[in-house]
Structure 1
Amino acid sequence: MTQPTVPSADGPVDVQGEAQRPFPEHAAMARAYPGGRMTVGAITPLEGFEGPVPSLAGHIERIQQAERAGFASVWVRDVPLLDPSFGDTGQVFDPWVYLGLLSARTTSITLGTASIVMPLRHPLHTAKAAASVDQLSGGRLLLGAATGDRPVEFPAFGQDPGGRAERFRQSLEYFRVVLEHRFPRVESPLGRMHGTDLLPKPVYRRIPVLMTGRGRQDVRWIADHTDGWLYYTPPLEQQAENIERWRELTRGDGDGFKPYAQATYLDLAEDPLALPRRIHQGFSVGRVSFLAMMRAWQDIGIDQLMINFKHSRRPVAEVIDELAEHVLPHFPPGRSGARGEHRPVERTGP
């Protein structure tokens, strides 16, 4: 059998085995990113709170409410340590354990990570966990990936933060090789494999990987090596330029459409006519102006708005109900078959 070579930043990684067919026909991608219009996702925890640690009261019920309301996706965080100076622990729970629970407690919403800190985890552990969640959820996982932005974490894991960009590239390559090939032969700075395989494999033969932020990488590298880009909330004109550049770099890509998403903090005012006021990476705003802002974001090409409720002054259950009635019908999730017929592979197990 011909032995393919997967290029690496540190030289070739040898891979032996038959490669799996890549998407784009993937149900989780189709629900989150139907293409040509914007959908809405939610970032956990779905709760407004002061300080770094949420109460997590009713956290599963809020996610189930979001699924019923028409959110296309829910995204969990990877925050291993409490850093009081950073001010946010995400949903506190380990992302993979939490996604296992969400796999059982939800039915159709796309499940994503926003984002796994790839350099802090061995790629075999990440691949095993990701494929397990993907199988348990029926192929609903998207992997948001990041280099990590909390300096205190790296020495705690015995790592040099200065090497995280390179380790990210190595980890992503290793992750993809072991999921997309059977019995691969791998020679990597992060490990060697020969004569063994990682199970389970993903339902749709490949788990889409979306870059979070720049990750100390060149934008062209991100366009060439990932399946989408999760970004923050710069001014509209700057975001439009980012998206235009992204489309230029990904147009004609062999893997098809690569989405661009924006993460935004939202404090939805009780007064529906309240004008927007800038807060950290987001806005305090009434629903009328918020709907106008969403249409403007859609017009410049944002494929999904990922809402973070941390700064919400109202109960998030109440906010979700208001969005469900007045906003989300304008930005419905994609249908599983929206971009073609999806044929998942047979589920596998150890």
Structure 2
Amino acid sequence: MTDLRIGLHALGIGTGANRDVIDAVARRAERRGFATLWSGEHVVMVDEQASRYPYAADGKIAVPADADWLDPTVTLSFAAAATSTIRLATGVCLLPEHNPVIMAKQLASLDHLSGGRLTAGVGIGWSREEFDALGIPFERRGARTARYAEAMRTLWRDDPATYSSEFVSFDAIRVRPAPSRGSIPIVVGGNSDNALRRVADWGDGWYGFNLDDVDAVAERMHRITEMCASAGRSADELAVAVALRSPSVADIEPLAALGVTELVIVDAPPADAGEAVEWVDGLAAEWIR
């Protein structure tokens, strides 16, 4: 038997943006033993996308520009209200697009109300068009993300909190409530070497998205291990969640052997809440052992 968990990335987009479906999927996923509900983010989508989407061979995101795409903290708040034990995760929040003081407040509020069930998955973003629309520099977004994460951890740890960096500074402020466990785990999304370096340098874990297969996960895990060693830490302390392009049940054991802690199933629920319950049951019958 393996202790690898199964997560579900299905809420917040398209049919998964409907209130009744969110309630139905969240409740049924909890009852059927899924470990985590994941919800991703784009603030802005555009019809003509020049930026390359890094998680598809053709460089194009599969989600239509006119699809509904909810804010993940709002989506997960509704999921939290419908459940009591299943974990919740942003997968991922595009951290450099947000004011980190406000984001720290939003995440801590969700964690507080959910009873400490939140994991903050963060990424640096890939769409220059999105950053342009928000008036945020696309360049140096990796450095901005690192400092924002550092600032949020300071706000969650210290009361009052003081922090100063190139990108954000504050002095003797209180941002309450504090997270239920004193902090919120921050896992870093992305499959590139630069993303894995962020995992090793300051992440609590890694969310690898839309990887080709187990061999691709193994190669990336090897790189994380090397980078963690260079950073003076052990890769064993990281939480590792991955989503594969075409996962199968046969992947569970080899992924667990690699040190993966959660396999995330990415799919879209039916638009009807009743059918969504049956859909979760079907996934559970296939994946939950």
TM superposition score category, shorter chain reference: 0.7 to 0.9
Partner of 1:66: 29
> Would you say the 8 A contact 2:228–2:234 is kept in 1?
no
1:324 aligns with 2:284: yes
Structure 2 residue matching 1:162: 3-state secondary structure? coil
Structure 1 residue matching 2:139: 3-state secondary structure? helix
1:260 aligns with 2:226: no
Partner of 1:241: 219
Summarize deviations over 1:136-180 as a string: whole Å, max 9, x none.
Answer: 000000000000122221011112212211211221111111111
- Distance in 2 (CA, whole Å) between partners of 1:197 and 1:231 is 34
Matches within 5 A, 1:299-318: 299-310=257-268, 317-318=277-278
1:100 aligns with 2:77: yes
Structure 1 residue matching 2:188: 3-state secondary structure? strand
| 1:249 to 1:160, Cα distance in 2 relative to 1, 3 A | closer
Partner of 2:15: 54
Partner of 2:249: 291
Summarize deviations over 1:173-219 as a string: whole Å, max 9, x none.
Answer: 11111111121222223333223211111111111000001477363
- Distance in 1 (CA, whole Å) between partners of 2:288 and 2:267 is 16
Stretches of structure 1 that go unaligned for 5 or more consecutive residues are: 1-35, 47-51, 265-280, 284-289, 330-350
- Distance in 2 (CA, whole Å) between partners of 1:43 and 1:106 is 16
Matches within 5 A, 1:189-208: 189-208=166-185
Summarize deviations over 1:18-60 as a string: whole Å, max 9, x none.
Answer: xxxxxxxxxxxxxxxxxx73100011328xxxxx843636232
Partner of 1:44: 10
| 1:316 to 1:150, Cα distance in 2 relative to 1, 3 A | farther
CA shift, 1:244, in A, is 2.9
| 1:190 to 1:72, Cα distance in 2 relative to 1, 3 A | same
| 1:295 to 1:63, Cα distance in 2 relative to 1, 3 A | same
Structure 1 residue matching 2:212: 3-state secondary structure? coil
| 1:109 to 1:117, Cα distance in 2 relative to 1, 3 A | same
Please state which structure has a larger fraction of its residues in helix.
2
Structure 2 residue matching 1:152: 3-state secondary structure? helix
Partner of 1:22: none
TM-score (norm 1): 0.68
CA shift, 1:79, in A, is 1.6
Structure 2 residue matching 1:204: 3-state secondary structure? coil
Between 92-101 and 126-135, the greater mean CA deviation after superposition: 92-101
> Would you say the 8 A contact 1:67–1:109 is kept in 2?
yes
Matches within 5 A, 1:1-350: 37-45=3-11, 53-54=14-15, 56=18, 58-84=21-47, 85=49, 86-88=61-63, 92-214=69-191, 217=194, 219-232=196-209, 233-250=211-228, 253=233, 257-264=237-244, 281-282=245-246, 290-310=248-268, 317-329=277-289
Q: State the one-letter code of the partner of 1:237.
A: D
CA shift, 1:250, in A, is 4.2
| 1:68 to 1:311, Cα distance in 2 relative to 1, 3 A | closer
CA shift, 1:248, in A, is 4.7
> Would you say the 8 A contact 1:243–1:260 is kept in 2?
no
Q: State the one-letter code of the partner of 1:296.
A: P
Partner of 1:15: none
